[in-house]
Structure 1
């Protein structure tokens, strides 16, 4: 089982909400090393925090894990704005050491170019009819609450986790049609940008497939799916699902592989922090990593 990747992409953690799997993603990131970590939007749920959400210690631990990745493994971290963390617009773009916060980016690797964006910019509902988006968010929050109730009784009965919300979305024709249209439109955007593929999030639907010659990849979410995209050191991409990870095998491999996972040092304050602002441009910054 691979545990060392060139790049890992996660999105839609929605920290600040009851549905956020903050403990699980912190555990996930603890098992893996990567040169680049891309946080592709909706990491913090500003919408819910303004209403009824709350910030807990486990949400802070997620960012502590990110800091340890930077400090112990020199991981480059890119935080791309989503629609639920749109409050970041006030500070974009910003670079603090190895952490960059920006709108989107073009990622170049092994001769291929990928346009990476959260995906909400292509959603006319969230961009043009914001009040409808908020109403939809309320409905989705209720669905997640119902999902927790159902799985509480399933656990008591010894049954495995079942995503009620994903099941319902898969049965609603309009939702299925929306996902298909969303994926096709993003693939077209990648072609317009002169890219070989596109990496997004937003719709909480993990995917890795070819659409009209364009690599379409969606990292899923950490509310229901608990998934991430990972690129190995040969340029191959795969989806990793938390529920399919054999954590015991990873720990054994880490212990037996000499120098593979050194004992992590505590995070210490950086002595020197550099602030940079990117020049305004119509095209997102491109990174060859």
Structure 2
């Protein structure tokens, strides 16, 4: 395990590949400002969007599309124009794009799944992962109800965060806690990881990169490297592949203007990360 030092305000990290998922543009919970700041500090030869970038479910219920959502889209399109290859793998919330495999939108290529060849020779199956979520796959009504409950948890989270800031208490995510309590109760995360890694094995891949469950992690499971990109609703995480094949889990935190440290809004840092180096041939 290694920790990455916080980048300077004007520094840009050069990477081979970036994997980002679960931004949920169109949701009030989307941390668009954080993501924009992250994208300003990171350049990659390839960016793979691993689903739920746009939240079509919420947009169907009520339209919410502030300028910050346009800014994220424009930022990605500008990167594509400058030569970054961008691959968009739709998830369940942006499933409307699954009707357009192989189509390019402003230089962004849509794909159902993608086999990524790492710099170390390792092959990764990249997919969103919702097809392995029994609730989403077999009970769409329950999935929508769960989505509504998550919205409520996020709303509670915002109120609690404001109170904790006033009391000079550290940040704590009620929505993340509630989600993990429920999913641990049914052993959801463990089962999800198991079936996704088995899918990678069926494709003769040595690893799998997915999103969907908003639980960022890099770990080896039964000989398969399991990587989850997390989300940009709560944890603000992404996966970076370095030019030597090292995979890095980055947690991007916006420093609040009202913290005891007195840091101004708009600053950011890279928190300690877990890095997996390529295996020797």
Q: TM-score, normalised by structure 2?
A: 0.83
Map 1:185-200 onto structure 2 (within 5 A).
185-200=195-210
Map 1:1-289 onto structure 2 (within 5 A).
1=5, 3-72=13-82, 74-96=83-105, 98-109=107-118, 110-172=120-182, 174-175=184-185, 177-243=187-253
2:195 and 2:154 map into 1 onto residues whose CA distance is 27
Report the CA distance shift for 1:112/1:244 in structure 2 as closer, same or farther (over 3 A). farther
Q: Secondary structure in 1 aligned to 2:165?
A: helix
1:90 and 1:96 map into 2 onto residues whose CA distance is 13
Report the CA distance shift for 1:117/1:163 in structure 2 as closer, same or farther (over 3 A). same
Question: Is this contact kept in 1: 2:218–2:249, CA < 8 A?
Answer: yes
1:131 and 1:216 map into 2 onto residues whose CA distance is 29
2:159 and 2:63 map into 1 onto residues whose CA distance is 18
Gaps of 5+ in 1: 251-289
Give the Å deviation of 1:176: 6.0
The Cα offsets for residues 15-70 of structure 1, whole Å up to 9 and x where unpaired, read as 00110001110110011110000110000000000002411100000011112222
RMSD: 2.1
Q: How many residues align?
A: 249
2:183 and 2:24 map into 1 onto residues whose CA distance is 26
Report the CA distance shift for 1:186/1:81 in structure 2 as closer, same or farther (over 3 A). same
Question: Is this contact kept in 2: 1:22–1:62, CA < 8 A?
Answer: yes
Give the Å deviation of 1:172: 3.4
If each structure's helix is expressed as a fraction of its own residues, which one has the higher value? 1
Report the CA distance shift for 1:50/1:97 in structure 2 as closer, same or farther (over 3 A). closer
1:85 and 1:147 map into 2 onto residues whose CA distance is 24
Give the Å deviation of 1:105: 0.7
Gaps of 5+ in 2: 8-12, 256-262, 270-281
The Cα offsets for residues 238-280 of structure 1, whole Å up to 9 and x where unpaired, read as 1000128998698xxxxxxxxxxxxxxxxxxxxxxxxxxxxxx
2:163 and 2:133 map into 1 onto residues whose CA distance is 35
Give the Å deviation of 1:125: 1.4
Report the CA distance shift for 1:139/1:65 in structure 2 as closer, same or farther (over 3 A). same
